[in-house]
Structure 1
Amino acid sequence: MGTTWRTFDWPGAALVAAATLGALALGAFLSPGSDDPWYGALRKAPLNPPDAAFAVIWPVLFLLMLAGALLVLQEAGNFKRASAAMGLYFTMLAANVCWSLFFFGFSDPGIALGVLAALWLLIATMILRFAIHSPRAALLQVPYLLWVTFAAYLNISVLVLNPAP
């Protein structure tokens, strides 16, 4: 199908961009890293990256997410034709923020792990749905799926290394 940039769904793209940037900002606000006394005191996985790595990785992943979503929107021609893919995308953004809320906000890595499992399934499903419109858009989501897989290792490690009293 596809569309030219002149007939591109700019209002839909603005909504996707605003939601993506909003989720990135909210997730960053909710995730203080080692500045959080609770998180700073936790025993962590041997492969736990330094806080500075998260500050680089997350914006790159969100840029890839946004680029993929915009490719889907462009190839679909409008937001309505991409509604299934966009619905998954917005749900995925919400789940991403919910992980930060449960892990850092509520200091509950157990519930956060459940959210992370749901997020992983959402991303995998979103990749399949994106591929219908744009294989490139789907491929752009693979680093995010891999990162969330690694995040599960980190989350599980926190649970195992810091048993509840």
Structure 2
Amino acid sequence: MKKKALYIAYAVSICLAIGFLSSFATQSSVNDWFTTLNKPSFNPPNWLFAPVWTVLYIMMGVAAGIVWAKGFYHLWVQTALYHFGFQLLLNAAWSIVFFGLKEPLLALFVIITLLIVLAITIKWFKVVSKPAAWLLVPYLLWVCFATVLNYKLWELN
């Protein structure tokens, strides 16, 4: 049990660190460039994003820690965590492309790729641990919403 908690703690720390680092790109333009964009009626208030992402990063880390604790020597665990790492990098890349580079169309391609890799990640997590896979479902739903929002922001601007 201690080993599992340690893996979860490491994975949560990694996810929160990635979220924290990618927030630098977000903060660079959320209060200037982003405020000038035409937004759809369903655009959430800016204050909502940080708490939602914090909860999602924690859930992602718990899920990854559960999978990791199953034994990294196992091919299915390696495959699941490989996909997890790839989607985590795409997640960070989206913030850099959308907010840092201010390129909503390119960011749309990144987030669609993220959505595909995340779905594959969930599939592999399910092979290793069904509870871990379920922990990623809220994240998948949020990324689906963010994809639609990204599309509308590109379309309106």
The verdict on a shared fold, with TM-score over 0.5 as the criterion, is: yes
3-state SS in 1 of match to 2:143: helix
1:64 corresponding residue in structure 2: 59
Distance 1:55 1:114 in 2: 23
Match of 1:43 among 20, 38, 42: 38
Structure 1 residue matching 2:41: 3-state secondary structure: coil
2:72 to 59, 67, 79: 79
CA change 1:132–1:38 in 2 (3 A) is same
Measure how far apart 1:34 and its partner are. Answer: 3.5
Structure 2 letter corresponding to 1:89: F
The aligned counterpart of 1:109 is 104
| Alignment partners' CA distance in 1, 2:5 and 2:73 | 10
Query: Contact 2:39 / 2:156 at 8 angstroms: preserved in 1?
Result: yes
Distance 2:148 2:11 in 1: 29
Aligned partner letter, 2:132: A
Which of the numbers 5, 8, 15 marks the counterpart of 1:20? 15
Report whether the alignment pairs 1:144 with 2:139.
yes
Distance 1:50 1:92, change over 3 A: same
Aligned CA RMSD, in angstroms, stands at: 1.7
**TM-score normalised by structure 1 residue count:** 0.86
What is the count of residue pairs matched by the alignment?
154
Is residue 54 of structure 1 aligned with residue 49 of structure 2? yes
Q: Equivalent residues in 2 for 1:3-18 (5 A)?
A: 5-6=1-2, 8=4, 10=6, 16-18=11-13
Give the Cα separation in 1 of the matches to 2:92 and 2:119. 17
The TM-score normalised by the length of structure 2 is 0.90
CA distance in 1, matches of 2:18, 2:109: 19
Cα pair 2:10 2:65 within 8 Å, conserved:
no
Letter in 1 for 2:73: K
Q: CA deviation at 1:18?
A: 3.8
What amino acid is the match of 2:72?
Answer: F
In percent, how many aligned pairs have the same letter? 34
